[in-house]
Every structure is written in C-alpha cells, then in structure tokens.
Homo-oligomer: A and B are copies of this chain.
C-alpha cells in the first residue's frame, strides 16, 4: 500500500466532482496569466549550482525594490552567502557584515515602506476571516491585508515572501540583507518590516538547507549555509538565458474558482471540506511562461 495523503489531485477525479485546485490552474486560459517583467525578476545563482528566482514587488516597496535592483546591478552580492537558516521561520542571505561599500544610487535609509495606500490597488477580498488584519485578499497577484479605516494595505508574510532585514527602528534596512519565509507564516511581522517580493522558483535551495546551530538559526562564525555566485535581474541577463514566469491574475473568474476550491476541497481524498482557507494557504499560482507554440 502507498498511503497517498491527499494525492487525489493527480488522479482523475470522477466527472461529477468539481475540479481540484491543480486542475483549475492547469486549465486556466492564457488571459488569466500575466507575464512578470524581467526587471521584476531577481535571479540568485549559487556556487556549485542551483538557482532561486524572486519576483519583486515595486508597487509595495518602491524605494527598497529600487535599492535591490541597484545592488544586483552593482554586483553587490557576488560572493555573499546564506548565513542564517532558522527552522519554521526564515532563511536570510546577503552581506551580513563588512562587505563592499554601498553602491551609488542606493538609498542608505529608505522610508518605512511597511504599508501603502489602498488607492490604485484592485483589492479582491479572500472572503474568510483573518487573525491579523480587518481584511485580507489579493491585489495584482500578491497576498495583501488592508484596513478600510486607515486606507492602508500591506503585503503579508506568507511562505516564500521576501523581506528586508533591518536593525531596530528607525533603521528600515537598505536591502543588502534579505530573508525568505520558510515556515508557518510569521504574520506578526506584517507592517513591521518591508516586504519586497516572493520566491517563485527554487525555494528548496533555501528551505532545505541545514539549520544554523547558533541562536536564531545563524551559522557559526566562519561558516555559511550556501555561497552565492551571482544575483542578477533577469533584465540584465542575455535574452536567451532569461527565465520567464507568469503569475495568475487575481481579479478573474479562474482565480475565484481556485480560491473556492482551496477552501472547499472535494478531491476524492477528502471526506470533509473545510469551508474556509487561510490567506497563506492559498498561494497565487505561478508557472514558467509556456513556449509560444504551446500557449493556449
């Protein structure tokens, strides 16, 4: 016997059954996908192989994202490392101490871009409760929380989200040290730190690393979890080498069906659908951009 543990998504569901979340995603028409700009893709290549790709979120933290782009373009992270891996929390990388001088054009102390005005965002409410904010849902392909009273919205610390390490306030972090969430969503960090994007491929190159043995998952002095060979924007890579990704539009009927299916699992495996879903348990679908011949 192979105990499957919710494997039904890969098996053919009886025709009377509603589509599974994976089926909804695989059948989504081309119009439901939006290609990520190459200027919004940060490509981390590791020494010894492996790659992690991050989608940047300039609409939420424009100064921090501009810093990240400038640091990448200056080669600031060449030879840097992942130096902290804390179980069920974060992997953190970049230039921890010392390192090269801050490149020209990088804002040494960005504003606290922990939230922004809801104006200009197309907010799609999730439709279920949240412990951390009056409203949660999605905007422009991102998981967000917002407060109708203050008119402010913020990205949320879901699995894979990338933020800017900072010291105590008023420091906001200049972007040289970044972290990715590799465990239960630490939503208490929302509105306390600048989120600049999310890992859309290769999270396992961070999440599957040995945990650091020192306090808070830091690696022992003189050791690192993984050495970084280069960090580049896809827009700075030769066109033939660039990875390309698409994110599902969060405003369409397909995304609404996906959320509904995540909240009401009726795969063959499930006996009882939950009737609800956590914002961070309904990740916005991402795929590699299909070759022209195979696009729908």
A3 adjacent to B177 (CB under 8 Å): yes
The answer to whether A3 and B165 touch (CB under 8 A), given A159-B183, A265-B188, is yes
Q: Quick check: is A10 within 8 A (CB to CB) of the other chain?
A: yes
Q: Quick check: is A295 within 8 A (CB to CB) of the other chain?
A: no
Q: CA A189 – CA B272 in complex, angstroms? A: 9
Between A173, A215, A276, the greatest number of chain B beta carbons within 10 A of the residue's beta carbon is seen for A276
Q: Quick check: is A203 within 8 A (CB to CB) of the other chain?
A: yes
Between A1, A216, A269, the greatest number of chain B beta carbons within 10 A of the residue's beta carbon is seen for A1
The answer to whether A5 and B204 touch (CB under 8 A), given A216-B10, A272-B191, is no
B87 adjacent to A204 (CB under 8 Å): yes
Interface size on A, as a range, is: 35 or more
Q: How far is the CB of A95 from chain B (nearest CB, A)?
A: 9
Q: Quick check: is A106 within 8 A (CB to CB) of the other chain?
A: no
Chain B residues within 8 Å of A165, by CB: 3-5
B193 adjacent to A262 (CB under 8 Å): no
Q: CA A174 – CA B164 in complex, angstroms? A: 46
Q: CA A216 – CA B278 in complex, angstroms? A: 21
A188 adjacent to B4 (CB under 8 Å): no
Chain B residues within 8 Å of A171, by CB: 1, 3
Scoring A residues 157 to 171 as 1 if CB is less than 8 Å from chain B, else 0, what string do you get? 011100111111101
Chain B residues within 8 Å of A67, by CB: none
Chain B residues within 8 Å of A281, by CB: 184-188
Chain B residues within 8 Å of A211, by CB: 204, 207-208
17 A-B pairs within 8 Å (CB atoms) are namely A2-B97, A3-B166, A3-B173, A5-B166, A6-B186, A6-B193, A85-B208, A128-B131, A184-B184, A188-B270, A192-B270, A192-B271, A192-B272, A204-B211, A208-B208, A208-B211, A278-B278
Q: Which of A70-108 contact B (CB under 8 A)?
A: 85, 87-88, 90, 92, 96-97
The answer to whether A132 and B274 touch (CB under 8 A), given A8-B168, A159-B88, A208-B209, is yes
A158 adjacent to B177 (CB under 8 Å): no
Q: Quick check: is A18 within 8 A (CB to CB) of the other chain?
A: no
Contacting residue for A185 out of B10, B203, B265, B278, CB 8 A: B278
